[in-house]
Amino acid sequence: MKSVIVGTAGHIDHGKTALVRALTGIDADRLEEEKRRGITIDIGFAHFELPAADGSRIRIGFVDVPGHERFVRNMLAAVGGIDLVLLVIAADEGIKPQTREHFDICRLLAIRRGITVLTKSDAVDAETLEVVRLEVEDYVRGSFLDTTLDVEQSPLVAVSSLTGAGLDELKSALARVASEVAAKNSAALARLPIDRVFTMKGFGTVVTGTLVAGTIRKEEELEVFPAGKRVRVRGVQVHGSPAEAAVAGQRTALNLAAVTTEELARGMTLAAADTFHSTSRVDALLSLLPSAKPFKDGARVHFHAYTTESIAEARLYGTKQLKPGDEAYAQLRFAEPILLLPGDRFIVRQFSPVVTIGGGVVLDGSPAARRQRVEDAIAFLKIMRDGSPAQVLAARVARRGATGLRLDDVPGEMNIRREEAMKLAPPAGLVWCNPVLVAPAAYAEAKADALQSLRKFHDANPLVAGMGKEELRDRVNLGPEVFYSVLGKLAEEKKLEVAGELVHLPGRGVVMKDEEAESKKIIEQAFASAGLKVPSLKEVLAGLKVDKIRAQKIVTLLLRDKVLIKISEELVFHQSALMDLRRKIAALKSTTPRIDVAHFKDMTGVSRKYAIPLLEYLDRERVTRRVGDAREIL
């Protein structure tokens, strides 16, 4: 069964609650104070079903709002999730201040469907009713409620909740308009702005709200924003009846486990876990009402989105003042984090005195942290406003340069599932570096940077075979996923070669000048001829023709190629001498399974200065194992 949420709007005492009661039989005024004072203070709820023209039935959920100017903030907590509005105007009073403010709010929230209802038709004569009708038709002309364009799409109905006159006509109009309301996306990521929190005996903590997107099922885990707390859904009710799941567009009540009423409040949002993130800043398109005063850059406002209310500072892009009736891109900065996503509509009210002055739509819930040129910010926001989904994804990825956009961050950035982003990536022309998306230009630049860094390294280090992978990654400042993708692509294109942990350009390895090659030969021969009675490395290097830095690089090369082996800070041996020693020790095993330091010195002819480091080397190489003061040959 299709569900449609209908909100009331209009001035105080124009009969909104009475109208809902006449249609549904339910009194939406639930508070004792409301009944005592005879006015609606907080939002109320009711529902009933209507037959559609195709024979199906439509469930209508009403959100009744207060009409008093002091309670506009409560009204704003209700209208964010409605599908169509009943603009209620009393025939005996006509258009009043809260009629205008509520209607402004509906237009700023981009509500596209509605019915204008003239209540208390029994309180005036036919001539007066016709005058009011003409006045109202003129007032709504040019809006989504314009009756002169298509009376079927935007009807105007006169009713009396007292006598019942016009109610059948209103029900027919409701069924007709509601049947044409587009269904909300139940396959989207779930979000439920909380409008009520209470405890129900036998159940515990219960929250209610209008499910604006997605589906919520029993036993599902959700996250409370902005608190970040995890909760479990014990039970689900839809329009007052138990259900296995609630889908987008339904009035929903959830019985929650692992949370108390003290931890929840109106203005919080329940959403899919590990999906979104709260934010303290959003970039948006801000529109000012023609009736508002000029708006200055940096002004503070009361901000309302769905059930959330906050204080925000508005920083205008490209202008110091916004004129009445104009719009501009702006960054809204909040004192506390809230959950806002691209496409969310909002209302702003003047800080003092508190009146509605404008509204707009969130374009970016994750603005760039670093300062950027105003021109670049505006160009980006224009794409966020008018671009296709693929263009929006491409722009969001491109602004991150070679860092790219992680797939797990896409839902919070764009309010779409990861799978949708993967489908958009090819038409957007993005490079996939699992699990990161990178713009082609940034990827090409990363490749060029890697090659340039290698060239500089080879030029500065002709005696080194290549550059370590991690050293190269540090130099080009890339994340591991993008770096190893770049490395693989360049190797595939044969623009560099990877040998173990070293990276080098094709044909670029160790390049020695004549004196360097001669020095290498001298070093190697000095240690090869010395056997185990090696000279100090410092003495050998002192007799070379090359400078100290190049000499050390030659030693590093010999150590890397394991021609020389360093067994302690002071002792370096030729690999042939150590291999010969290992053979001699292995040959002793059958006759002398253990040797001590004295025996080792006699066998090798070396002093204790050499014997101890050599024995410790053999232990590390698992040729021997120390047992007390002796070594067991393994």
- CA-CA-CA-CA torsion for 387, 393, 396, 401, nearest 10 degrees? -130
pLDDT of residue 388: 94
Is the pLDDT reported for residue 501 higher than 90? no
**The domain boundary residue, chosen from 227, 253, 272:** 272
- pLDDT-based confidence at residue 560 (cuts at 50, 70, 90): confident
| pLDDT one-digit tens code per residue, 109-149 | 999 899 999 999 999 999 999 999 999 999 999 999 998 77
Residue 279, number of CB atoms within 10 A of its CB? 22
Q: Interior CA angle at 360 toward 359 and 361, to 5°?
A: 150
Same domain, 23 and 152: yes
Confidence of residue 510 (pLDDT cuts 50, 70, 90): low
Q: What percent of the chain has pLDDT over 70?
A: 96
Q: What is the average pLDDT score of the chain? A: 89
pLDDT at 181: 87
* pLDDT exceeds cutoff 80 at 150: no
Nearest Cα residue to 9 out of 69, 95, 85: 85
Cα–Cα distance, 417 to 554 (Å, whole number): 55
In this predicted model, what pLDDT tens digit does every residue of 521-550 receive, in sequence order? 888 888 888 899 888 888 888 878 777 777
Rounded to a whole number of angstroms, the distance between the first and last alpha carbons of the chain is 80
* Crossing angle of the two packed helices 597-604 and 608-620, in degrees rounded to 10: 110
Question: Looking at the predicted structure, is the pLDDT value of residue 362 above 80?
Answer: yes
Please tell me the predicted confidence (pLDDT) of residue 206: 94
CA distances from 290 to 85, 294, 295, 348, 400 (A): 22, 9, 11, 14, 38
Q: Which domain-ending residue is among 272, 305, 328?
A: 272
Contact indicator for 208, 196 with CB cutoff of 8 Å: yes
Report d(CA 177, CA 166) in Å as an integer: 16
Q: Would you state the pLDDT for residue 152?
A: 73
Contacts of 237 (CB under 8 A, 6+ apart): 243, 246, 252, 253, 254, 255
Domain-located, residue 417: yes
Judge contact between 537 and 555, C-beta under 8 A. Answer: yes
Tell me the pLDDT band of 515, cut-offs 50, 70 and 90: confident
Torsion sign over Cα 276, 279, 284, 287? positive
The pLDDT of residue 67 = 64
Domain check: are 465 and 324 in the same one? no
Residue pair 440/486 in contact (Cβ under 8 Å)? The answer is no
Q: Is residue 184 part of a domain?
A: no
Residue-level pLDDT at 43? 79
Taking the CA atoms of 135, 138, 140 and 145 in sequence, report the sign of the dihedral they define: positive
Average pLDDT of the segment spanning 158-182: 92
pLDDT band at 468 (very low <50, low <70, confident <90, very high): confident
Q: Work out the pLDDT band at 35, boundaries 50, 70, 90.
A: low
Contact between 106 and 34 (Cβ < 8 Å) = no
Q: At residue 131, what are phi and psi to the nearest 5 degrees? A: -65, -45
Q: Are 297 and 320 in contact (CB under 8 A)?
A: yes
Both tokens of 225, joined, read 């924003």
- DSSP, residue by residue, 202-253: TTEEEEEEE--BSEEETT-EEEEETTTEEEEEEEEEETTEEESEEETTSEEE
- 416 shares its domain with 489: no
Report the distance separating Cα 23 and Cα 162, nearest Å.
Answer: 11
**pLDDT value at 624 more than 60:** yes
Q: Rounded to whole angstroms, how far apart are CA atoms 593 and 620?
A: 18
Q: What pLDDT, on the 0 to 100 scale, is given for residue 200? A: 86
pLDDT of amino acid 239: 82
Query: Do 44 and 166 fall within a single domain?
Result: yes
pLDDT band at residue 586, thresholds of 50, 70 and 90?
confident
What's the rounded mean pLDDT across residues 195-212? Answer: 89
Copy the structure tokens of residue 408. Answer: 């797990």
Q: How far is residue 410's CA from residue 424's CA, in Å, rounded to a whole number?
A: 11
Query: In a 10 Å sphere around its CB, with 0-12 CB exposed, 13-18 middle and 19+ buried, how is residue 26 labelled?
Result: middle
User: Amino acid identity, residue 531?
Assistant: G
378 vs 38, more confident: 378
Q: How far apart are CA 236 and CA 218, in angstroms?
A: 6
210 and 332 assigned to the same domain: no
Please tell me whether residues 339 and 431 are part of one structural domain: no
Confidence of residue 489 (pLDDT cuts 50, 70, 90): very high
Helices (DSSP H) in 347-439: which residue ranges?
A: 374-386, 389-398, 410-414, 418-428
428 is written with which tokens? 């957007």
pLDDT at 258: 86
Cα separation, 303 vs 309, whole angstroms: 6
Asked if 480 and 434 sit in the same domain, the reply is: no
308-316 vs 300-305, strand pairing mode? antiparallel
Residue 56 has pLDDT above 90, yes or no: no
Could you give the angle at the alpha carbon of 608 between the alpha carbons of 602 and 613, nearest 5°? 110
- Return left, alpha or beta for 22; rule: phi > 0 is left, psi -120 to 50 is alpha, else beta: alpha
Taking the C-alpha atoms of residue 298 and residue 433, their distance in angstroms, rounded to an integer, is: 40
CATH of the domain at 463: 1.10.10.10
Q: How confident is the model at residue 519 (pLDDT cuts 50, 70, 90)?
A: confident
Q: Give the three-class secondary structure for 486.
A: helix
pTM of whole model > 0.85? Answer: no
Q: Which DSSP string do the residues of 166-178 spell out, in sequence order?
A: THHHHHHHHHHHH
Helices 575-588 and 608-620: crossing angle, nearest 10°?
80
CA distance 418 to 433: 15
Same domain, 346 and 217: no
Closest CA to 303 of 348, 345, 338: 348
pLDDT digits (tens, 9 = 90+) for 374-384: 999 999 999 99
Query: Using alpha carbons only, how large is the chain's radius of gyration in Å?
Result: 38
Point out the domain boundary residue: 504, 530, 545.
504
Q: Is residue 369 in a domain?
A: no
Tell me the residue range of the domain where 469 lies.
Answer: 442-504
Are 116 and 154 in contact, with CB atoms under 8 Å apart?
A: yes
On whether residue 197 sits in a domain, the answer given is yes
Which residue type, as a one-letter code, is found at position 44?
A: G
Distance between CA atoms of 505 and 494, rounded to whole angstroms?
9
Structure-token match 């190629």, residue found: 561
Residue 66 has pLDDT above 90, yes or no: no
In a domain, 418, yes or no: yes
Q: Is residue 456 part of a domain?
A: yes
Amino acid at the residue 521? K
pLDDT of 270 = 96
Is it the case that residue 464 has pLDDT exceeding 80?
no
- pLDDT band of 618, cuts 50, 70, 90: very high
- The first and second tokens of residue 272, run together, are 């899919």
Return the minimum-mean-pLDDT range out of 20-34, 242-256, 389-403, 470-484: 20-34
Percent of the chain with pLDDT over 90: 59
pLDDT at residue 33 in the model: 66
The pair of structure tokens assigned to 476 is 């080009």
Please say if the pLDDT value at position 275 is more than 70: yes
168 class by beta-carbon count within 10 Å (0-12 exposed, 13-18 middle, 19+ buried): exposed
Assess whether pLDDT exceeds 70 at residue 574: yes
Give residue 511's pLDDT: 56
158/89 Cα distance (integer angstroms): 9
Residue 396 clears pLDDT 70, i.e. is over it: yes
User: What residue type is assigned to position 589 of the chain?
Assistant: K
Residues 433 and 460 in one domain: no
Distances 417 to 95, 164, 193, 364, 412 between C-alpha atoms, Å: 44, 48, 19, 17, 9
- For residue 263, the domain's CATH number is 2.40.30.10
Q: Decide if pLDDT at 509 tops 90.
A: no
Domain count, the chain: 6
Does residue 378 fall inside a structural domain? no
Q: Which amino acid is at 587?
A: A
373 domain-assigned: no
Among 101-110, 403-412, 512-521, 598-607, where is mean pLDDT lowest?
Answer: 512-521
Whether residues 450 and 330 share a domain: the answer is: no
pLDDT of residue 340: 95
State whether 400 and 302 are in the same domain.
Answer: no
* Statement to judge: residues 120 and 32 lie in one domain: yes
